[in-house]
Amino acid sequence: MKKRLCLVLASCLAVMAAYAQTAQQNYIDKYAEAAVAEMYRSGVPASITLAQGLLESGAGLSEMAREGNNHFGIKCHNDWKGKTMYFDDDAKNECFRKYSSVAESYEDHSNFLRYKDRYKFLFDYETTDYKSWCYGLKTAGYATDPSYATKLIKIIEDYRLYEYDSLTADQIKKGTGKVLLYPGRKETEAPEGAQTQTAARTEKKTSRTSPTRTEEKIPESPLQMEQPEAYVPKASLSFDLSRKIMTQNKVPFVYAMEGETYQSIADQYNLFLKEILRFNDLGKNEELSPGTVVYIQKKKSSTARGLNMHIVDENGETLRSIAQRYGVTVKSLMKRNGLTSPEASLYESDRILLRK
């Protein structure tokens, strides 16, 4: 009797394991193309998107995923204007975002990583360095589970998801990466018509410096894009170059030094006080601390492509601090984000659009 019971139990476990394996494989088959497309849009490795989606949505079978296409458990936060759904999580009846499609969920997840300060360092890793991404997510506090990184790595390696980090969405559409959908098989066991792993490696791979034949290219790290650059003067400008001038968003600025004022900097660059105050979104003169960024030309209305938004990391940020950081005007931020006051309150995880 006990032996029969053990056999039945083993059989049930085998069936359940096979079902779980099938569910995960179906998830990969269905969403690999979207994950690769997101990689070229945002810089988040396809393997990371797929592994997190598999883990956090139960291979797309969780109630949240089925009801609202939310595959990453992203909550509403203060700025969400879309549809909502409610589940018990850290507290009872919490608000979660409801998406019109899984692709929309993927995009929101990528934006969350790319534009929130605590995760930006991840984009300095290569998209093929999935282990650094996994451990980096854990270090940045993405999940409280101490084994979160190792779980992601196991999923990526069990299903060879790392192979997707070297493919293009075009290759996925054409089936040239099809062998990836059959983990555990030998190359000779790939289904008829599917490209082998060896053949896939011979395809022209993509990198930040070498776009593929479809001209897809991984976007530059947001931290690299935010780095100020040395100012290269134009012949039409007669700036005093006795001090170092930098640019942010191609707008020249200087760092204030001990004892300087807005008036003294204005004088140095042949500006009126009201001009330099306007360039820095100040309505009136104020004390100037050493190290403060002071723009000496008008800021722009939008940032470069790839710095599309800023996600507030902590309460207390202001529209002006964001405007100064990215070299854009407060007025443009207000207009683009539907805000009526430059003093509008901002809260953690609010998304401030920096360009259309």
Rounded CA separation 170/147 (Å): 34
CB-facing half-sphere around the CA of 54: CA atoms within 13 A: 30
Rg (CA), the chain: 25
Query: 20: pLDDT confidence band, cut at 50, 70 and 90?
Result: low
Q: What is the pTM of this model?
A: 0.81
Percent of the chain past pLDDT 70, that is, above it, reads 79
Q: pLDDT tier at 239 (50, 70, 90 boundaries)? A: low
DSSP conformational letter for 218: P
pLDDT tens digits, 122-175: 999 999 999 999 999 999 999 999 999 999 999 999 999 999 999 876 776 666
% the chain with pLDDT above 90:
71
Positive or negative CA dihedral for 156, 159, 163, 168?
A: negative
CA pair distance 346, 201, nearest whole angstrom: 47
- Which H or E run contains 98? strand 94-98
Please compute the mean of the pLDDT values over residues 241-267 and round it to a whole number: 94
Burial of 141 (0-12, 13-18, 19+ CB in 10 A): exposed
pLDDT digits (tens, 9 = 90+) for 278-326: 999 999 999 999 999 999 999 999 999 999 999 998 877 999 999 999 9
